[in-house]
Amino acid sequence: MLNRSPGMRNIGTIGAYFNKLRTNLQAIAYSDEEPEHEAWRRYVERKNIVLEFLHSDLSLHVIKRHHKRIDLLKKCSYYIEILPKHLALGDQNYLMLPTTMFQLIDPWRFQRMKKIGTIQTKIQLLLLSDLLEELERGREELVFFLETLDMMTFLSRWDIIKQRVSSLSEKMDYFLTVLVPGKLYVKHRLVSDVGITKIPHIRLVLSTKMPVMFDRRESVAHEDWVSLKWFVASQQPQVEQYELRFKLLEPRTPQERVHCGIKPVTANTCEIHNLLPDRLYRFTLKRAETYTLVYEQWHDSILLKTKPYLEEEMETAMS
């Protein structure tokens, strides 16, 4: 590499000097236009605006709460709910019963709407996760501005910071609207042409049911049977159809490989008998599938080990 001549080094030094002089002149001009105490007042005022936003709408507590909400939504069951409106013609006070509407709805078209509902639910859950990640990154960006930028730099970038706060606020509002399952877009008429003169207006929406979860404290295993109990989070007890599966883990013989079963239940408790003692079982619970179910990915499971027979314990102790 060629060495620079002394003249070239002098030119570089002079250039650096003029750059420094230009910066100082700009700072002096700024101080002439706006006294330092006024700049400080504006800095504190605008910094507090960002701090208030971070401590309220975009606090760590809010972010954590929304993470839990999304995790809960991923465990929910999603259904198409038919909400009848008034008849298009005639009596405006008459509401059709859901069973009557199902008789009028074309089954093939309804199956198509169920597929659309499934896709819409998956997109909604993915969108919620993406939006929350963007909100978290935006929060980190604002915290970085507050912790690293000096007063002059912060004020010079205020328009960018203010726009970022506004954008994150709008994104949070959109996130909150996506949290609630929305209306399904019906492109084609669902009611078959059955020759009736009064065609009902039908509105389809996605509804959710909170996940069914085992009560870990109340579910216990005995020697050759188990007592299971479950509940639905944030919901009053109601009659529902459930499907309970059980399976022996680590079977020791070919006959034990088929030691499993499915049991329909219409309650929040169940006992399963004729199990093998001192063995580990997996129990899985889900709602019974219905005609309007569109999406359900998560099912709660619990592992319980049956106790050994008392005779076996005594023989072990005596040997």
pLDDT tens column, 14-61: 455 445 545 554 554 554 455 678 889 999 999 999 999 999 999 999
Residue 249 to residue 271: CA distance in whole angstroms: 19
8 Å CB contact between 73 and 169:
no
Nearest to 204 by CA among 298, 300, 115: 115
Band of the pLDDT at 181, cuts 50, 70, 90?
confident
Nearest to 155 by CA among 25, 4, 39: 39
Please check the confidence at residue 90 and state whether its pLDDT lies above 50: no
Q: Determine the pLDDT at residue 37.
A: 84
Please check the confidence at residue 274 and state whether its pLDDT lies above 70: yes
Residue 108 to residue 249: CA distance in whole angstroms: 41
Long-range contacts at 311-318 (CB < 8 A, ≥ 24 apart): 312/277, 312/278
Q: Determine the pLDDT at residue 11.
A: 45
More confident call, 140 vs 235: 140
Band of the pLDDT at 207, cuts 50, 70, 90?
confident
The overall pTM is greater than 0.85: no
Average pLDDT over residues 192-205: 63
Q: Determine the pLDDT at residue 36.
A: 77
Mean pLDDT of the chain: 81
pLDDT tens column, 143-161: 999 999 999 999 999 999 9
More confident call, 268 vs 21: 268
Q: Determine the pLDDT at residue 246.
A: 97
**Backbone φ, ψ for residue 201 (5° rounding):** -85, 125
Tokens representing residue 230 in the block: 């479950």
Average pLDDT over residues 247-263: 92
Percent of all residues in the chain with a pLDDT value above 90, rounded to a whole number: 56
Band of the pLDDT at 80, cuts 50, 70, 90?
confident
Q: Is 304 exposed, middle or buried (0-12, 13-18, 19+ CB in 10 A)?
A: buried
The domain covering 210-318 belongs, at the CATH homologous superfamily level, to Immunoglobulins (2.60.40.10)
The CATH 2.60.40.10 domain(s) of the chain lie at 210-318
8 Å CB contact between 268 and 219:
no
Cα distances from 40 to residues 27, 45, 50, 66, 141, in angstroms, run: 15, 8, 16, 36, 22
Q: Determine the pLDDT at residue 269.
A: 94
Band of the pLDDT at 3, cuts 50, 70, 90?
very low
Single-letter residue type at 247? K
pLDDT tens column, 100-137: 666 777 788 888 888 988 999 999 999 999 999 999 99
8 Å CB contact between 295 and 78:
yes
